[in-house]
Structure formats: C-alpha cells, structure tokens
Amino acid sequence: MWEALMAQPAGTAWLVATGALTNVALLFSTFPEVADHIQGLSIMGGAIGNKFTDATLGHVEGEGERFGNETRWAEFNIYCDPEAAQSIFSNAVLACKTTLVPLDLTHKVLATTAVQELLLNGSSGGPERENLVIRQLFRDLL
C-alpha cells in the first residue's frame, strides 16, 4: 500500500478500506508520513443506529433494535480489530480526512439485478464491447 500511495502526487490519493482496519492501521503506524500524503481515507465500517437512516436494520426478540451485524451493536469491520480502528480514529492527521460509511448507510444502497447489469454492461443497456475485467469483478462481488 505504501508504494502505491506514495507513487501518487501528494494530496491526490484516497485509501478505501472495506474490511477490517488491521493493515490500514499498520500502514499508518509504520509509515506515518502516508497520513499527510493522502487526500483522504474512506472506511466502510461501524454502525450508528438511533434512526441515523431510515434503513431497516433488524430487531432481535427480547433485545430490541439491532444496529450491528456482528453483535446487536457492533459492525464486523470494527468489531474484529477495535484497536486498529481506535488508532485510526484517534489519529489527528487523519481526523479531517476520514469519511466513515457505516452499516446503516450501506443498507440504503441495494444491488438489484438492474444495478448489477449496469455495472457489467454500462449505461447503454447492452454490451457494446467486451466486458472489462473490473466490471465483471464488481458484479461478481455483489
């Protein structure tokens, strides 16, 4: 990650974390200069609840509303390495550069069949050319 990020002009690269933050935290602790070098950090993680969005997150009988996907309150990406998450959230340089996309928000975007086909084929409605490997990868991930 260090090599790829530092190869970009200062203030242009974004790091997008869609899983546990272990490697991201290790990157910033080993190479603190990366925090100054990047433009931003986006993290898919955490859960806010309390009607942050109108997405239905679930209800656990006898426990009430569920905000997390790992426990009633905890979202997996933060839950599996809370120390890594804490080191990132407490990094003063990263504080103004970090965008958190919590589980509540991800429940607002559904990858319907139409969305999957748009990712695969583009907006023309049909394959104008061979599907790019990256298009197939995104569709397969869904």
Q: What is the pLDDT of residue 128?
A: 53
Give residue-wise pLDDT tens across range 23-42.
999 999 999 999 999 999 99
Q: What is the DSSP letter of 90?
A: T
Q: What is the pLDDT of residue 7?
A: 97
pTM metric for this prediction: 0.74
Alpha helices in the chain (DSSP H): 2-6, 22-30, 33-37, 76-79, 82-89, 92-95, 103-106, 113-121, 133-141
Burial of 87 (0-12, 13-18, 19+ CB in 10 A): middle
For residues 82-107, give the mean pLDDT.
92
Of 114, 112, 119, nearest in space to 139 by CA: 119
Of 36, 28, 40, nearest in space to 2 by CA: 28
Of 108, 105, 110, nearest in space to 49 by CA: 105
Residue 115 has pLDDT above 60, yes or no: yes
Give residue-wise pLDDT tens across range 47-81.
887 777 776 666 667 777 777 777 777 889 999 99
